[in-house]
Structure 1
Amino acid sequence: MLLGFRATEGVLAVFGDLGERTAAVYGTAAGIVNPDKRLRDHDLDAGLLSTTYTMRWEPRRAVSGGGTSSYDVTENLFGAVHAPALGYPERSDLIDAVRSVSGHRDDAADAELKQDAREVFDRLPPALDAVAVVEFARPMTAERLTDLYRKYGLCGGEGVSYIYSLYHHDDSGGDPPENAVVWDRYPGYRDMRRPAPERAETPQDVARRCGTGPEAALASFRDWVGVLDEDDDLAEFGLDHGALRLAADEGVAYGLVADRWKAADLGRLLGDPDVRTVRVTDVAFDLGR
């Protein structure tokens, strides 16, 4: 089964099959609320009474390997979804870092956050691969993100996910928490469904993909939100239809998850006035390079 997410028409075309729609809607939702995991498409079992979509996952660490585990998302005949352990992921350093992105500014607190982060980067060898959450000092449009990447010669294509909506938790214990919306334009379970390239990428192709990364990511997020139905059971994932539509309309990023970026590049970003702080969640030497 091939699912294309490059345009709304492509998304709608594959939604004719209920099983594929289960994978497209709920597989994507699983990726949104589990930024600490790399998800991969695995199997789709469409029966008469229910559809089960199985994904394989591994922790989002600075090095891969160590085996994978499976996640099942099951939708019954009436549209109810069961996704154990997917909707509200267990705490991890990366989940905590994503939830720490506040969208608020406080000059004294911001200065302290940057100083703490600088002390971390001062101790890190610049060649280390890192997983980190970059929190912006103010919400960033796709255009401003592109300018930021160009300023530092970075790539906004694969290896980055954007935080389009913040984690919200009511301390009064009333409503369940709303998960942050962390959008990866190329998650593994969709990446496997993209048509194989007809030719190898040239340096010009890479430069073009890097330069248009934020705009393309936002467009694909809006495509996905645009085909959601109010009957889609997103509550199981701690997602709200209204919040998703608002995030798609606003089209700004409060931060990003950098996957296997060099510590040196993250340290340079830390010095930019548009960056509030950088929270490193994992580091490793890549001995294969």
Structure 2
Amino acid sequence: MVIHGREPDWSYVARSVVKVLTVTAALLLTLTVGERALEVFVDVGDRTAQVYGTAARIANPDKRLSHGYTHSGRLPVTTFTMRGEPRRAGPSDGTTEYKIVEGLFGTVQAPLLDGPSGSLADAIDSVEAKPGDGRARATLDGLPPTLVGVGVVEFAHKMTTEQLVAFGRRHKICGGDDVAYIYEPSFYDDSSDPSSLNAIVWNRDMTREDDWAEFAYQCETEPERALAEFRRWVGLLDENDDLEEFELAYGSLKGAADEGVTYGLVFDRWKLADLRKLLDDPDVGTIHLADVAFDLDTWTG
């Protein structure tokens, strides 16, 4: 007995396969979007603040950026809002509102938070770019020692945490909101991708979003706590986090956390008399002064 099989309807088979693949792709997309949407509505507000709010402060040391707040609208978009003022030696001229917007797929927009500008930006960019030429001493000697200034102390060499603690003890430098640590200088190279990266400037207060939480600096040993907090923050990052708006890169941040050295200090309203003394320390290469003003606390006190 011979059984004659029917030729399969290959067009029907092809349509069925296409339907299966289409449904499978749709399910995978739904799961991916659903997972992302769950993150958006459950956790993204906190994570936007922790990752992108902190990144904005790292990349913009020319601004005193406040702790912020998040808002999720009807669309799966989260907005993190901060206020900030220029980091100048004199009194504030008022604050500006800055917004960081994270979309459904993790893309970030942060207008005017792509890096520092002005004289403090120039001072930070000078770290490791220009050797000390003695002009800092002449500049400080020519100004009244009672003035306060904003700028950068550039070290003569990379400083480990232990060396930085010893430096602070020698000069009675307490950790506080008036000092930040340059863990990586800014980077420019037209032949690389990206062609530029902002300096990594860190203060332990940058990750704190709760104004009521208990918080205290550790005076001379603050560099140890600051580096530990920076490493903890870098550990929160994912390689896919969109840091491009801040001209930061995961690899650079990870490298700085692993190396754990400091290239300089960004100082905020330090007395010029105290800065002048630092130039006599062989660990100090030079001082880049960005702004000076009268110390109003002294005049009104």
Normalised-by-shorter TM-score class: 0.7 to 0.9
Say whether 1:221 aligns with 2:248.
Answer: no
Residue 233 of structure 1: aligned partner: 242
C-alpha distance in structure 2 between counterparts of 1:283 and 1:192, whole Å: 31
C-alpha distance 196-249 of structure 1, shift in aligned 2 (>3 A): closer
The Cα of 1:36 is off from its aligned counterpart by 0.4
The answer to whether the aligner puts 1:195 opposite 2:220 as a matched pair is no
Deviation at 1:260, TM superposition (A): 1.1
Q: Is the 8 A contact 2:49 2:209 kept in 1?
A: no
- Is 1:271 paired with 2:280? yes
- Equivalent in the alignment of 1:74: 101
> Partner of 1:93 in structure 2?
119
Deviation at 1:196, TM superposition (A): 4.6
Q: Name the counterpart of 2:289.
A: 280
List alignment gaps of at least 5 residues for structure 2: 1-41
Counterpart CA distance in 2 for 1:163 and 1:26 is: 19
CA distance, structure 2, for counterparts of residue 43 and residue 225 of structure 1: 21
Q: Partner letter of residue 262 of structure 1?
A: K
Larger radius of gyration: 2
Map 1:1-289; keep pairs closer than 5 Å: 17-47=43-73, 48-89=75-116, 91-102=117-128, 109-110=131-132, 112=133, 115-172=134-191, 175-187=194-206, 190=208, 192-193=210-211, 195-196=213-214, 209-289=218-298
SS in 1 for 2:188: coil
Displacement of 1:172 in angstroms is: 4.2
Please, which moves more after superposition, 261-270 or 245-254?
Answer: 261-270
Displacement, 1:236? 1.6
Cα deviation for residue 194 of structure 1 reads 5.0
Deviation, structure 1 residue 134? 0.6
Shift of 1:143: 1.0
RCO comparison, higher one (Cα < 8 Å, 6+):
1
The SS at the match of 2:197 is coil
Structure 1 residues 191 and 41: alpha-carbon distance in aligned structure 2, compared to 1, 3 A threshold: closer
Q: Partners of 2:210 and 2:90 in 1: how far apart?
A: 20
2: CA distance, partners of 1:228 / 1:191? 17
- Whether the 8 Å contact between 2:49 and 2:68 is mirrored in structure 1 is no
Q: Is the 8 A contact 1:133 1:279 kept in 2?
A: yes
Q: What secondary structure sits across from 1:25 in the alignment?
A: helix
- The alpha carbon displacement at 1:88 in A equals 3.5
Distance 1:225 1:62, change over 3 A: same
**Which digits, 9 at most, give the CA deviation of each residue in 1:37-81, with x for residues without a partner?**
000124311234100001101000113321100111000011110
The two structures, once aligned, show a CA RMSD in angstroms of: 2.1
Q: Mark the runs of 5 or more structure 1 residues left unpaired by the alignment.
A: 1-15, 198-204
Q: CA deviation at 1:35?
A: 0.6
Q: Which runs of 4+ in 1 moved over 6 A?
A: none
Give 1:186 deviation, angstroms. 1.9
